[in-house]
Each structure stands twice: as structure tokens, then as C-alpha cells.
Amino acid sequence: MSNTLTDRSFWRNYWESKTGLAFPVNRNYLFHSLLSDIIKRFNPNSAIELGGFPGYYAIFLKKHFNITSTLLDYFVHHQILEDVLKVNNLTGDDIQVIEADLFNYTTPTQYDMVLSCGLIEHFYDTKDIISRHVQLLKPGGVLFITLPNFKGINGWFQKRFDKENYMKHNIDSMNPKLLDSIAKDLGLKEVRTAYYGGFSIWLENKEQMSALVKIFFKLVWMAGKTLTKIFRFESKQLSPYIVLEARKQTL
């Protein structure tokens, strides 16, 4: 059985169905505070974003911190990528792009930072996909992984209103304790896992939903945002993301 819950045709259809992909990646882009803190503490010179097409985080690191950035993905839509780079005042020379299957990819190159945002949950074997990140990490380098949390309200919306997309995710991987255990089993240190994001919900197919579903969605979104703005906290039920940060042992 294949380790992945998706394939190239899924990703081609997914990206070609999207609009508004070419936008400026600003300094306050999602996870900016966490990444800024990592950069302040560890001062990485090089980074690779895995499974990150269209490369928003590789662009973020290059554009705002001048970090030598690489994007590696199984599927790269080159016209979309060109448009995204252009609106960020970058060219193909600014970001190295590798279109390859991570499970068949070998290279002697290692990086100060290895990150992925929304990748590991598309694979059955969570430990194996995280180990692929670690292989690309320099000794002393920092690992940064985020994934959605579908075990709370956001997941209920996904399962109820977009079952097809929900089934493309390994729900068992969305467990901070599991991620902590895997990271430590792989020999990583300074491991930190946490829920993140306060509150948010989304549906990939929201525009195809009925007016009633859209109204319900909006009401829940507003209620959750108001609650967590007044009382900011992270939780399994409300937080939309899970974050893993760790460092590789030095030699």
C-alpha cells in the first residue's frame, strides 16, 4: 500500500481549481511570529520547505530574512509559481525549486532549517515522513512542522461538509503527544509541540455549499473568533493547527 493519501492528479486538480494564489507574502504571514522567533534564536542561513508549493514559506524566508531558500514538492505548477514569485518581486533565481518525490529523493545537501506546513498529515506513516525531514537537517538545525487540527470543531466541519477532502488526511497524525514521541524517538532535542491559532475553521469547497451552510459556517466562525479574541487560549477543540518544533543533535 502506498504511504500517501494523495497523488499528482489530486494536487494538479487542487491547485488548478484555486484562484487568488498570487499575492504578496507579507511580514505578518501565518506562523510569522513562530518563524521570526526561530530565526532570532538560531539564525539559519539556509532552509528547505517540503511539500510547500506554491512556496509561500520559502518566499517568506527569502523575502523578509534573506535566507537561502529551497522549495521541494512532488508537484509544481510552474506557471502558478512564476506568478507567485513575480507578485513578490522575486524570480526563479531567488528560490531553488526541486520537483521530486521526497521518498525517492537523495542528496548530500543539508539545511539549517527544514519546514513543512500542511504536509505530514497526507501520509499514513507519520514517523517515516518526519524522518525524511530530519535526513535533510544539518546537525544543530531546527525542524518546524505545522499541520491542521481536525480533531475539534474545524474537523467536524471538514467531515460533515467536505468528506472527500477530510479523507485525504491522516487524522491520527493530528496528536501533539504522538508528534512529541516521534520526534524524541528520532533523536531530536528541545522538542515542543502545541495547538496553535486561537480559532479558525475553513472548507475547501465552501463556494459550492448551500446558502444555509454558508450562514451556519459564518456564525460559528464569528462566535469562535470573538471568544478567542477576548480569552486567547489554545485547545484541541478550537485551535486550527498543531505545531512541532525541534532541533537535531549536534555531532
The whole model's pTM is what?
Answer: 0.93
Domains along the sequence of the chain with CATH: 8-149+168-200+240-247 (3.40.50.150)
The predicted structure's pLDDT at residue 140? 97
- Sheet with strand 95-99: strands edge to edge: 95-99, 68-73, 46-50, 111-117, 137-148, 241-247, 189-196
Q: Nearest CA to 90 among 77, 98, 81?
A: 81
Residue type, 34: L
For residues 26 and 234, give the distance between their C-alpha atoms in angstroms, rounded to a whole number: 24
Give 10-residue mean pLDDT values along the chain (251 residues). Answer: 70 81 95 97 97 95 98 92 96 94 92 97 96 97 98 96 94 98 98 96 90 95 92 92 96 71
Between the CA atoms of 73, 74, 77 and 83, what dihedral angle is there, to the nearest 10 degrees? 0
The predicted structure's pLDDT at residue 2? 55
The predicted structure's pLDDT at residue 24? 97
Strands 95-99 and 46-50: unpaired
Strands 111-117 and 46-50: parallel
**Kind and range of the H or E run holding 209:** none
